[in-house]
Structure 1
Amino acid sequence: MEISVELKQRAAGTKPNALRRSGHIPVNLYGHDGDKSLLLTLDAKSVENLIKKARINKTPVEVSIPELSWKGTTVIKEIQTHPWKNFPYHLSFHAVQN
């Protein structure tokens, strides 16, 4: 089963709580280009579907970022959830070197 998501680049200066209120979850992508990381977003509905299908550090996820013309295989390294509301607060992806 292949899982794929399309991430959008986060605008500079955008506050994470403002993103969450607008229905998007902040995402970081590590390892796509050495030690650099990218600040991205994913809509909350896609995050819910992704969490149901993918396992942390195990399931390969095909990620594409159209604004940067980047596409690659990643794994979810971390899912942060709200302490008592139990909804996803932040995701971290790590690129897998082929």
Structure 2
Amino acid sequence: MNTLTINASAREQAGSASSGRLRAEGRVPAVVYGKSKEPENLSLDARELRILLRSIGNNTPVVQLKSGEGEARTSIIKEVQRHPMKDSYTHVDFQEIAEGEVVVLEVPVHHKGEADGVKNEGGTIETVSHTVSIRCLAKDIPSSIDADVRALKVGDNLHVSQLPKIEGVEYLDAPEQPVFAIVK
């Protein structure tokens, strides 16, 4: 898993007025919560957040959240709110995950290789499920799951049960759920 870090600052005030002032200063209000801790209000640099989200791209949004002098905390970006008209972020929710904590989350699935049905039969690969639900320890979270589609012919599907086995990762979706399909 590729770990990215973002710096955060604690914020004393909450509410729309103080959040508006933060945004005017080029910062984004945020909150971090976890199973064994009270929610903590934070603020992030808007430019640093934009760079982080671009770096994550279509991968699992696991980051190291560093605030103040404390140690970086492994967190999952649960929600990113955007302004409906402007190209700006208005709020971010992080869920902190402890070292030995089992988490359930959605992980992106990417196809690898060129399917035989695409290469030789004029088919097209269709992504049926962009993500799959998994359960694992925080240290085992994959950034994405790469599925080999080279053997698929027109009319074939690749199901959740055919995704690569990853040590410590359990797929929660139905085994017969299609992920990729080759169509004519």
Gaps of 5+ in 1: none
Quick one: which of 34, 45, 59 aligns to 2:47?
45
For 2:80, what is the secondary structure of its paired residue? strand
Q: Deviations over 1:6-49 (max 9, x none)?
A: 11001335710000001100010011x62510000011101111
Q: Which runs of 4+ in 1 moved over 3 A?
A: none
TM-score, L = length of structure 2: 0.47
Does 1 or 2 have the higher relative contact order (CA < 8 Å, sep 6+)? 1
Cα separation, partners in 2 of 1:74 and 1:57, compared to 1, 3 Å: farther
CA contact (8 A) 1:82 1:88 kept: yes
Report how far residue 51 of structure 1 moved: 1.4
* CA distance in structure 1 between the partners assigned to 2:59 and 2:77 by the alignment: 6
TM-score, L = length of structure 1: 0.84
The RMSD of aligned alpha carbons is 2.2
Which is higher, the Rg of structure 1 or of structure 2? 2
Aligned length: 96
Greater shift in the superposed pair: 21-30 or 57-66: 57-66
Q: Deviations over 1:52-78 (max 9, x none)?
A: 1226992320111125x2421001000
Cα separation, partners in 2 of 1:16 and 1:57, compared to 1, 3 Å: farther
* CA distance in structure 1 between the partners assigned to 2:94 and 2:84 by the alignment: 21
CA contact (8 A) 1:29 1:37 kept: yes
Gaps of 5+ in 2: 100-184
For 2:53, what is the secondary structure of its paired residue? helix
| 1:96 corresponding residue in structure 2 | 97
Identity score, percent: 26
